[in-house]
Amino acid sequence: MLQTERKLTTVMDHKKRLLGLEKTLSKLSGYEGWMIAECRFCLKKQREDSSSGRLLHFEQPDNEEYAYKMQVQKSDARLVKVLITGRSRREEDSLEVTLIDPGSLSRGKQPARTFVPTENTQSSPTLTVTEKEIQLYLQAVNDTNPIHQGKDAIVPGFLMVNRMFEMFQDRLPDQLQMDVRFLMPLQTGEEAVFSMSSEENKKSILLKTSTRTILKADVTEI
């Protein structure tokens, strides 16, 4: 019972930390209508001083609040790469994101691959996101991207990632790196299924509809 409660606390903490990183990304201006191609989350504890055992605070005050920084690493007419870091007195998180102009996809971009799960794949409940759920998420992170508005809106990529954390909460490590490739968009009200497969120290998660793969995430413990 105690272990279950501890895991639930960890999942709630992960969700809060993810939303903080995602909300910071929403402050990036000038890329309305662009889509997330891939991202990397890292959620970990602060490093300790090996001699004293004390946490290295990175100039962080003595409270539990996060300090976020955003840096544009590359930007051109086709894509933009952004690094976001979030640090508190106890944790240090990061989010690397590549955004692409959807118009570039029609100019010689190769179609997304369909990934086939391995034999040791474990299935999970289906995912169907409503327009109301999208609006609640957009309000939570201050996202105003027009591609997420209306009846035929595209489901925000990070909303799918957040649901993935919730669905696989008992199988994900407390400290992790997650590499996600967004292969095809998911529409509002469209049904998709998550599945997980494990290979040594890595877990792979797929989100698929009946006709295509929406995303692929690789999770490793750090």
Q: What is the pLDDT of residues 136-194, one digit of tens each?
A: 999 999 999 999 998 889 999 999 999 998 899 888 888 999 999 999 999 999 999 99
CA distance 197 to 123: 9
How many alpha carbons fall within 13 Å on the CB side of residue 188? Answer: 14
Distance CA 114, CA 126 (A): 18
DSSP 109: P
At residue 55, the pLDDT reads 40
Return the pLDDT at 123: 53
- Which tokens go with 7? 């895991």
Strands (E), 55-106: 67-75, 79-87, 91-100
Q: Is the pLDDT of residue 116 over 80?
A: no
- Residue 176 lies in domain: 2-221
pLDDT surpassing 80 at residue 58? no
Q: Which residues pair with 45 in a beta bridge?
A: 91
- In the DSSP assignment, the letter for residue 175 is S
Tell me, what's the pLDDT at 59? 41
Answer yes or no: pTM beyond 0.85.
no
Cβ neighbors of 12 (< 8 A, separation 6 or more) are none
Residue 124: pLDDT band with limits 50, 70, 90: low
Q: What is the total count of domains within the chain?
A: 1
pLDDT band at 199 (very low <50, low <70, confident <90, very high): confident
Strand order of the β-sheet with 176-182 is: 67-75, 79-87, 91-100, 35-45, 176-182, 213-221, 202-208, 192-199, 122-127
* CA separation for the pair 127, 190 (Å, rounded): 8
pLDDT at 84: 97
Distance CA 127, CA 207 (A): 9
Three-state secondary-structure class, residue 74: strand
18: domain CATH number? 3.10.129.10
The phi-psi region of residue 218 (left if phi > 0; otherwise alpha if psi is between -120 and 50; otherwise beta) is beta
